[in-house]
């Protein structure tokens, strides 16, 4: 672009030193504008990266919580199994005692 601009300026009878200064000024302006635009995009990207990191941590926490809950459910199921076995045994004893009491006419 700078060559085209330089040629256009010199073809328009602008002396080469002035044409070079104009080209340099335009380049500097473009660099500054692109730099400012990039800063805004970099800030947005930084925000997105922070949000993704936060979401990753939340997902990790959900996974850990879920694993803990599943482990606790297994433990709770084992406890419930033994409680039901105990209750069934107790009912069998009560039934046997009732049957015996009926045979003895108590």
60-89 confidence digits (pLDDT tens): 888 888 888 877 777 777 777 777 877 887
pTM for this prediction? 0.47
**Domain contains 96:** no
Domain count, the chain: 1
Domain membership of residue 86 (yes or no) is: no
Are the C-beta atoms of 19 and 2 separated by less than 8 Å? no
Residue 29: inside a domain, yes or no?
A: yes
As a whole number of angstroms, the distance between CA 50 and CA 44 comes to 10
- What is the domain range of residue 26? 2-76
Question: In percent, how much of the chain has pLDDT > 90?
Answer: 47
The Cα 16–Cα 7 span in angstroms is: 9
Give a yes or no: residue 88 inside a domain. no
Residue 17 lies in a domain: yes
């Amino acid at each position: 672009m700078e060559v085209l601009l330089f040629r256009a300026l010199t073809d328009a009878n602008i002396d080469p030193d002035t044409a070079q200064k104009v080209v340099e000024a335009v380049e500097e302006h473009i660099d500054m504008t692109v730099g400012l635009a990039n800063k805004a995009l970099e800030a947005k990207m930084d925000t997105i990266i922070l949000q993704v990191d936060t979401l990753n941590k939340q997902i990790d926490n959900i996974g850990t919580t879920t694993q803990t809950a599943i482990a606790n459910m297994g433990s709770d199921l084992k406890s419930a199994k033994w409680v039901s076995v105990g209750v069934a045994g107790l009912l069998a004893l009560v039934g046997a005692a009732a049957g015996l009491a009926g045979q003895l006419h108590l």
